[in-house]
Structure 1
Amino acid sequence: MDLKFENNTPIYVQIMNWIKEQIVSGQFLPGSRLPSVRDMSEQFNVTSNTIQRVLRELEIEGIIYTQRGIGVFITEDKDKITSLRLNMSNQLVEKFIGSMKLLGFSEDEIVNAVIRISKAGVSDAGDSEDKEFM
């Protein structure tokens, strides 16, 4: 599990978000078992208490469930995963739009930039010499 921690967000939140990303991207399948607390604490190089907090929070959110003595599993509730995916998408878009507006771009310029970049392909967009957004 390759995750580089940022200083501005609690580590347990970053691990939670990473697990959520793995779920919505299909890397962790519904009903699949998560690694043990010990394994995750070693992989992330954090204490077992941090991982237990992650699991407790994810369970409260209904994203995982525990089968006592067996392990921790990803929810099989497709609606829950779809809702999680939509919420994560909304957060990314809201952050992007907020950042673009701070840079002085209008809503039309933002929409045009998204269309232009999505047509060009994400990897091609940064190489483009055409830096106009309209």
Structure 2
Amino acid sequence: MKFDDKIPIYYQIKNYIYRQIITGKLVPGEKIPAVRQLAVDLTVNVNTVQRALGELISEGILESRRGLGNFVTEDQAIIDQMKHRLIIQQLHEMYMNLHNLNVTDDEIVQYLRQYIEDRRKHQDEQYS
């Protein structure tokens, strides 16, 4: 995993785990690797991983089971809320970046529709 120097590492680890859950690489009820293993895998300090996992547990995304480890929540509503928050965050970043380029709201919608249409055409061409 590559880290962005401008964003706290623990926050990037949280987002990494969010994405693993949303994309189905980590499924509800699945045990995640131990803190030390995650630290080794991500090449970060154990305390950094612990902070990220602590916040994920506080948010209800992960459940800590004494003596067993940490598991992805089986509460689909919590996962859906997390996905919604991530989507809104991504949209906000895109929106702010485009507004900084003096793109109007109507133009953003127009560009997004065109982008989606072009992507669909490209995907259809790939599978033809």
Q: TM-score, normalised by structure 2?
A: 0.91
Letter in 2 for 1:77: D
Q: After the TM superposition, which segments of 4 or more aligned residues of structure 1 sit over 6 Å from their partners? A: none
Letter in 1 for 2:49: I
CA distance in 1, matches of 2:112, 2:73: 33
Q: Hey, which of these two has a bigger chunk of helix by percent?
A: 2
1:84-95 correspondence to structure 2 within 5 Å: 84-95=82-93
CA distance in 2, matches of 1:49, 1:106: 43
1:115-126 correspondence to structure 2 within 5 Å: 115-121=113-119
1:43-54 correspondence to structure 2 within 5 Å: 43-54=41-52
Letter in 2 for 1:78: Q
Is 1:16 aligned to 2:3, yes or no?
A: no
1:61-72 correspondence to structure 2 within 5 Å: 61-72=59-70
1:74-89 correspondence to structure 2 within 5 Å: 74-89=72-87
**Deviation per residue, 1:79-109 (Å, 9 max, x gap):** 0000100111011111101111110111111
**Deviation per residue, 1:21-70 (Å, 9 max, x gap):** 11112111011000011110100111211111111111011100111111
RMSD over aligned Cα atoms: 1.4
1:99 to 92, 97, 100: 97
Structure 1 residue ranges without an equivalent (≥5): 125-134
Letter in 1 for 2:18: K
Paired position in structure 2 for 1:30: 28
Paired position in structure 2 for 1:130: none
Structure 2 residue ranges without an equivalent (≥5): 123-128
Letter in 2 for 1:21: R
Residue aligned with 1:121, SS: helix
Shift in Å, 1:11: 0.6
Paired position in structure 2 for 1:132: none
CA distance in 2, matches of 1:9, 1:106: 28
CA distance in 1, matches of 2:88, 2:43: 30
